[in-house]
Structure 1
Amino acid sequence: MMIARTSQPKVNLIQQIGPAIWGIVSFNILRIVTDLTKKDEFWSGGIRIHANGLMISIAICYIITFMWRNGLKKLFSRAHDIPTNIMKEYSICLFQVIVILNPIIFISERLGWIYMGDGFIDYILVNAIYIPLLLLYYTLLRNEVINKSLTDSRVHIEQIKADKLGTDLQLLRSQYHPHFLFNALNTIYFQVDDSNTVAKRSLEQLSELLRYQIYNVDDKVSLDQEITYLTSYIAFQQQRLTERLTVYTDFGDEWEGLAIFPLLFQPLIENAFKYVRGEYKIDISLKRQGEEIIFKVSNAVLEHTVNKQGIPIGGPVKSGSGLTNLIKRLDLLYPDQYILRSKREPQLFSTELIINL
């Protein structure tokens, strides 16, 4: 923001003094052509006449600039792209220069503000000098408007992308934000008999998991926070499954200063609990390797277990809405910065997620 506020006055200053500079340059080029080609002294004659001519030249440039800027603004505001009828555009500019320049010169001469010594010849010289210079000036103004239009378009496109990103993330977050369930659990908690401590503890655990999903999903969290959540989630999942289930976890301890968007590992762990069979064993690990975080989860499966659709359980990573949403979130939050792959073996299904922070 500081850069934008610093650069804006410079742009305004250039727009304010640009016509004056162009008027001075044009007048001096005219003087070079008319004085030096006649072997007269440069800026010969009375200083009042030359000062008047200089002021009139600057005034013409300001009038032309005001008219052309408004015209270009309307021209580009109506078009979805850069106008292509260049010949018509410059023909209009040529006509405008002629009908503005010559009456001003004629009136100024009649009022005695300037001196046109050679009459018609001097009119031709003024037009021959000013018309090309003013058309060149129009080209500069036109390029300025084009650049601004393209910049505004890029900003608009980026804003649309950002809005879409926010909408997509909000849509995905809504699937992780079961407010109604969170409130319902609180109601059920107070309806459970106080003597049923196991049920109350389970409700407390589930409430804490949902609280994390609801209130800690918008921004990055520390790896320690995410690991605490995963630990609680694993403990809660273990309560509802058979005592035969064995879960091994290895979350490492080198997480200081690292942050990550939350709930990226939970769908993979959920998948493991959902499809674990056979030896009922799950292995979960989270390691740091330089700037990369490597998450691995594997679960035992039966060698020929298939789901209702005839697809082997523990199949492709992209199956299931939870994993599809995970991939969408990764694409939005870590584009080109992650690898997600799975491997199906006869009695083991494993998934690996690598994120470059």
Structure 2
Amino acid sequence: MNKKSLLLHISKKLLEQASICLGALLFFTFYFGITISNLGPAFTFGAFLLPVTMGMVNVFSFYIIPKFLFQQKYFWFALYTIYAIVISIFLIAFSSFYGFIYINSLDSIGTEFMLTKNLYLIMIGVYIVVLLTSFFSAYRENHKVRLRNQELQYALLNGELLLKQEELSYLKMQIHPHFLFNTLNTIYGSAIAESKETPELILKLSNLLDYILYQTQKSLVPLEDEISHLKDYLALEKLRHGDRLQVNSSFPEESKNLMIAPMLFLPLLENSFKHGKSQSTEAFVELKIEIHEERILFFLRNSYDETLSTKNLTSSGIGLQNIKKRLNLLYPNYHLLNIRKSDGYFEVDLQLKTTPPKTSVS
């Protein structure tokens, strides 16, 4: 804290104390002088009670309440409250005694004031000021604590959101070269074979690259865009493998303007060709996407080479692990992913709710 801030803090505290003093004096003046016509003795008597009143106010507002009540140390709060009240009783009696003596010593003031208040009512007046001030102070401090907690909670949530955004960006950047590498291998194989389909393969790749480089920068894309590029990828693979590849695909006629995170389905399809095809045998891929109420159902089944290790089939490289992480970040508790191997087939079953809670994360 620099010098200027320290002076400002001290000034605010002094102003606060002066405001409490003025309020207490005004209260005592009207409280003690309500039955007499002359408020001068009441003001003078309130001035004698002001030191013990301000002492009680500061003890409760800045020590007992923050240190014990706010910390839920109720036993110590009750104990120190009793101590403070007992001590204050003697100080109030002492101040009242000398206040009466001083007022009666003045020739201009009669004895009217002495007969209007007894010691119990004086204590009640002091404790009313202490109670009201302590309540106000406790409310203010509680409000400050609540605001600080909200700021900390916001900072924590904002930090978690930034971490998720960075992780998702990393996952997207990771999947781009991975997908591109495998697709270029497909075109390379076609070029080696001097296939007449190579130009069309390049055109399909161009469409896929446009989707990967630009559309995946968005948080959400239309489901129909993802389906369109699934079709492009299937066409690309069918052009490469010809009759050796059997594809059964089924897509919804209408996507109902549904939005999903980009590149969720495409890497799964690419993964099935990478780990399921064989250059010497026929390959089979079945792809089905359905829409049921608030869910998107994605089903993919492909034949696989028995010579591949079980580890490769279950982990399936970067692509599948990437998808799992993105689903956990974008659709927590809003998706169900099952991956299994059965009777010579590798199956992926993904159920996705169409309205995820994390659509604001890009």
For 2:207 and 2:23, the matched residues in 1 are separated by: 74
Residue 296 (structure 1) aligns with: 299
In the TM superposition, what is the alpha-carbon distance from 1:145 to its structure 2 partner?
A: 1.2
Asked if the contact 2:271/2:316 (under 8 Å) is kept, the reply is no
Call closer, same or farther: CA 1:26–1:284 in 2, change over 3 Å.
farther
Residue 228 (structure 1) aligns with: 228
What secondary structure is seen at the aligned counterpart in 2 of 1:252? Answer: coil
Residue 320 (str. 1) matches residue 317 (str. 2): yes
Q: Deviations over 1:35-88 (max 9, x none)?
A: 6xxxx65xx54689999x9xxx9xx99xx99xx89x9xxx9xxxxxx8689979
For 1:251 and 1:26, the matched residues in 2 are separated by: 82
For 2:232 and 2:244, the matched residues in 1 are separated by: 19
What secondary structure is seen at the aligned counterpart in 2 of 1:293? Answer: strand
Residue 204 (structure 1) aligns with: 203
Between the aligned residues of both structures, percent identity stands at: 23
TM-score by length of 1: 0.63
Residue 285 (structure 1) aligns with: 288
What secondary structure is seen at the aligned counterpart in 1 of 2:262? Answer: coil
Structure 1 unpaired stretches of 5+? 1-18, 76-81, 103-108, 111-115, 186-191
What secondary structure is seen at the aligned counterpart in 1 of 2:134? Answer: helix
Question: What does residue range 153-164 of structure 1 map to in structure 2 within 5 Å?
Answer: 153-164=152-163
Q: Deviations over 1:3-32 (max 9, x none)?
A: xxxxxxxxxxxxxxxx999x9799669856
In the TM superposition, what is the alpha-carbon distance from 1:136 to its structure 2 partner?
A: 2.2
Instruction: Kindly indicate whether structure 1 or structure 2 has the higher relative contact order, using CA contacts under 8 Å at least 6 residues apart.
Output: 2
For 2:25 and 2:334, the matched residues in 1 are separated by: 56
For 1:46 and 1:253, the matched residues in 2 are separated by: 93
In the TM superposition, what is the alpha-carbon distance from 1:159 to its structure 2 partner?
A: 0.6
Residue 245 (structure 2) aligns with: 245
Asked if the contact 1:26/1:129 (under 8 Å) is kept, the reply is no
Question: What does residue range 1-357 of structure 1 map to in structure 2 within 5 Å?
Answer: 31=30, 34=32, 41=35, 45=37, 117=113, 127-178=126-177, 198-217=197-216, 218-241=218-241, 243-274=243-274, 275-277=276-278, 279-302=282-305, 305-307=306-308, 311=310, 315-316=313-314, 318-357=315-354
For 1:30 and 1:134, the matched residues in 2 are separated by: 17
In the TM superposition, what is the alpha-carbon distance from 1:343 to its structure 2 partner?
A: 2.6
The amino acid that maps onto 2:246 is: T
For 2:28 and 2:160, the matched residues in 1 are separated by: 49
In the TM superposition, what is the alpha-carbon distance from 1:330 to its structure 2 partner?
A: 0.7
For 2:72 and 2:25, the matched residues in 1 are separated by: 29
In the TM superposition, what is the alpha-carbon distance from 1:178 to its structure 2 partner?
A: 4.2
Higher normalized helix content (fraction of residues):
2
Asked if the contact 2:175/2:322 (under 8 Å) is kept, the reply is no
Call closer, same or farther: CA 1:233–1:135 in 2, change over 3 Å.
same
For 1:250 and 1:50, the matched residues in 2 are separated by: 93
Give the paired residue count: 290
Q: Deviations over 1:67-119 (max 9, x none)?
A: x89x9xxx9xxxxxx8689979xx9xx9xxx9xxx9xxxxxx99xxxxx9559
The amino acid that maps onto 1:307 is: L
Call closer, same or farther: CA 1:47–1:228 in 2, change over 3 Å.
farther
Q: Deviations over 1:108-153 (max 9, x none)?
A: x99xxxxx95599698665433223222222111211121111112
For 2:42 and 2:199, the matched residues in 1 are separated by: 96
For 2:123 and 2:343, the matched residues in 1 are separated by: 93
Call closer, same or farther: CA 1:126–1:261 in 2, change over 3 Å.
same
Asked if the contact 1:286/1:295 (under 8 Å) is kept, the reply is yes
Larger CA deviation: 288-297 vs 232-241: 232-241
The amino acid that maps onto 2:327 is: L
In the TM superposition, what is the alpha-carbon distance from 1:224 to its structure 2 partner?
A: 1.4
TM-score by length of 2: 0.62
For 2:24 and 2:255, the matched residues in 1 are separated by: 65
For 1:223 and 1:125, the matched residues in 2 are separated by: 73
The amino acid that maps onto 1:352 is: D
Structure 2 unpaired stretches of 5+? 1-17, 93-101, 104-111, 185-190, 355-362
Call closer, same or farther: CA 1:47–1:165 in 2, change over 3 Å.
farther
